[in-house]
Each structure stands twice: as structure tokens, then as C-alpha cells.
């Protein structure tokens, strides 16, 4: 399942980045930041206009799950605001499989 692979991958991002070759780093970067990275010279900052929806949702879901584990009530439709609009993008499942196979199989 894509979500399970994304969670496994997200737990290993630093290792994959530090141990990967240039091609693996490019695949990982394109997977996490599908719109690429930009550089704002006036601020000397790297900008990430868009993060892959699955990776972008992990911190939000983790916080909500932590709250549930701490006994906070579960509001109805609590995750409905996390559903994002469908965008035409790369084949996420295929890209995820390529990165995942390189490091976990």
C-alpha cells in the first residue's frame, strides 16, 4: 500500500539521502517535492512551493494520533480537511516503488 511505503520511507529519509547516489537523491527529491525546489536569492533561502500530499500530511496525522492516544475525543470528520484536490502529477506509486526498492529490498 502506498501509505505504508510512504511512512516507511519517511522514517528513513535522512539515511536514504546521506547514503544515496545522485540519481537516488534526485528521485527522492522529486518524490517529496514534486514541484521542485526554488532559490530566493534576495533572502538566501531555498523554497519548496509544494510538498507531496502524503508527506505533507504525516506531521498533521501524527499530531492527531498523539492527541487520540492522550485521550482527547475524536471529532467527526476530523480528517476530512486533509483530503486534497487531485492534481495531475507524476505517477506517485511508481516513483515511490522505485525509491523504496532501492533502499528496502
Residue 45: phi and psi, rounded to 5, are -130, 145
Tell me the per-residue pLDDT of 7-27, one tens digit each, with 9 for 90 and over: 777 788 888 889 989 998 988
Stated pTM of the model: 0.52
Q: What is the pLDDT of residue 92?
A: 65
Q: What is the pLDDT of residue 76?
A: 59
Tell me the per-residue pLDDT of 54-92, one tens digit each, with 9 for 90 and over: 777 777 777 888 888 888 876 656 555 555 555 455 566
Q: What is the pLDDT of residue 21?
A: 92
The residue ranges of every structural domain in the chain are 2-70+90-104
Amino acid at each position: 500500500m502506498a501509505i505504508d511505503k510512504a511512512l516507511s520511507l519517511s522514517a528513513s529519509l535522512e539515511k536514504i539521502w546521506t547514503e544515496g547516489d545522485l540519481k537516488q537523491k534526485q528521485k527522492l527529491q522529486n518524490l517529496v517535492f514534486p514541484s521542485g525546489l526554488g532559490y530566493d536569492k534576495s533572502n538566501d533561502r531555498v523554497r519548496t512551493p509544494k510538498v507531496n500530499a502524503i508527506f505533507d500530511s504525516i506531521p498533521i496525522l501524527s499530531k492527531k494520533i498523539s492527541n487520540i492516544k492522550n485521550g482527547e475525543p475524536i471529532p467527526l470528520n476530523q480528517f476530512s480537511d486533509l483530503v486534497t484536490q487531485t492534481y495531475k502529477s507524476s505517477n506517485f506509486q511508481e516513483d515511490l516503488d522505485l525509491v523504496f526498492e532501492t533502499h528496502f529490498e
